[in-house]
Amino acid sequence: MSSSAPSPSPDPADCGLTIFWDEKLVSYDFGPGHPMNPVRVELTMALARELGVPDRPNVRVAGFEPAGDALLGLVHEESYIAAVKHAGATGLPEIGLGIGTPDNPVFLGMHDASALVTGASVAAAEAVWTGGAAHAANISGGLHHALGGAASGFCVYNDPAVAIAWLLEQGAERVAYVDIDVHHGDGVQAAFYDDPRVLTISLHETPRTLFPGTGFPNETGGRGAEGTAVNVALPPGTADAPWMRAFDAVVPPLLRRFRPQVLVTQHGADAHALDPLAHLILTVDGQRTAYAALHRLAHETAGGRWILTGGGGYELVQVVPRAWTHLLAEASGAPIPPETKTPEAWREFVRTRTDEIAPRRMTDGTDVVEVHRWGSGYDPANPVDQAVMATRRAVFPEHGLDPMTDE
């Protein structure tokens, strides 16, 4: 069985990047002790600035408007939006809607903060769809667990789903969403489960051992949309090389066959070995390798139209800032060499802001070489290969692909 060789690295001239950012995005804050501390986004932007990413000639940082009710209503129920507003104004939970739970505690201004995050992702979608930017990023986004009528998994409004729904409203006929967060992208899948115009692919830790308990290979799309929900449920302990092997086995052949007009990606950094909430063992080096692969695929399959968001990631200092700075640099067409030292000014900022010692280099010291490609052969005794083959058998025939050969 063979897998096509990776396409060449994109030309930086084709990689204009708009970063949608507002300091108010850090107001998406569930309070002290909650794993999703917005300091991770603050430290990311600080590191990117110190390394000069926003100052590159093909990168701009842009403002945006919060999402209004009409935009949010493309995905979320009117009664739920009203409940979020009420909770955010009064501090009172809304029973049965996921608001006021340990995962999603109420905080004042909850609606405004959540609508701002969503507005940034919709602005990114608009920039890419209208040609204002080749690539557009909202690193505060990627809140992929929120459902149409309920908060879930630290997510109040589902910004990637709203952005995709906006693209469909504009006339997009094929949108692909690839989610590499360690948790299943259940909310985005649910929003488009019956819509053949949207291909959702999620690579995540098996739901047998991790929230949200969904994302099995047999979740393949509703009637009329069979094969458009794709789930790769990886065993705990999956490291860089087997993770990239699973990616190579599923994502490129499906994107090449689907030919999306726009590629939307979610980049939760919680598949890292240091993340406290999950059990995969990727490194920052493995993550930046995945970013490069997605960048190439955006150019190869979607005409370069790429919308990228953040997502999960709860090692706030050691992992998220480096991972997402690599992501932004990759999207600009000029990746940061892994051996690069983190700037002293940033390390001092980390110390004063968090009282932690920052990492000194942009690498974990792992040499990730894309040699463990699926084309090297299926091993039926390997748990990762078993997971991959379960996915390929479930969805490849719906796309006219042979699970054994990609053809």
Q: Given this model, what pLDDT does residue 207 score?
A: 98
User: Is residue 368 over pLDDT 90?
Assistant: no
Q: Is residue 38 part of a domain?
A: yes
CA distance 184 to 164: 17
Least confident of 295-299, 372-376, 392-396: 372-376
Considering the entire predicted model, what is its pTM?
0.96
Q: Is residue 8 part of a domain?
A: no
Q: Is residue 62 part of a domain?
A: yes
CA distances for 240 relative to 102, 243, 274, 335, 370, angstroms? 32, 5, 13, 19, 10
Which CATH number characterizes residue 27's domain? 3.40.800.20
Percent of the chain topping pLDDT 70: 97
User: How many Å separate Cα 274 from the centre of its chain?
Assistant: 18
Q: Is residue 371 part of a domain?
A: yes
pLDDT digits (tens, 9 = 90+) for 162-204: 999 999 999 999 999 999 999 999 999 999 999 999 999 999 9
User: Is residue 143 over pLDDT 70?
Assistant: yes
User: Is residue 105 over pLDDT 90?
Assistant: yes
User: Is residue 370 over pLDDT 50?
Assistant: yes
Q: Is residue 227 part of a domain?
A: yes
Q: For the residues 96-115, what does the mean pLDDT come to? A: 97
Q: Is 299 a catalytic residue?
A: no
How, if at all, do strands 135-138 and 59-62 pair? Answer: unpaired
* DSSP calls for 100-130: TSSSS---TTHHHHHHHHHHHHHHHHHHHHT
Q: Is residue 210 part of a domain?
A: yes
DSSP code, position 374? G
Q: Is residue 168 part of a domain?
A: yes
Q: Is residue 75 part of a domain?
A: yes
Q: Given this model, what pLDDT does residue 358 score?
A: 98
pLDDT band at residue 372 under the 50/70/90 scheme: low
pLDDT digits (tens, 9 = 90+) for 342-359: 999 999 999 999 999 999
Under 8 Å CB-to-CB from 24, ≥6 apart: which residues?
A: 113, 116
pLDDT digits (tens, 9 = 90+) for 53-93: 999 999 999 999 999 999 999 999 999 999 999 999 999 99
Q: Say how many C-beta atoms besides its own lie within 10 A of residue 112's C-beta.
A: 16
Domain holding 171, by residue range, is 15-399
Count of domains for the chain: 1
Chain mean pLDDT for the chain: 95
Catalytic residue, chosen from 76, 111, 145, 204, is 145
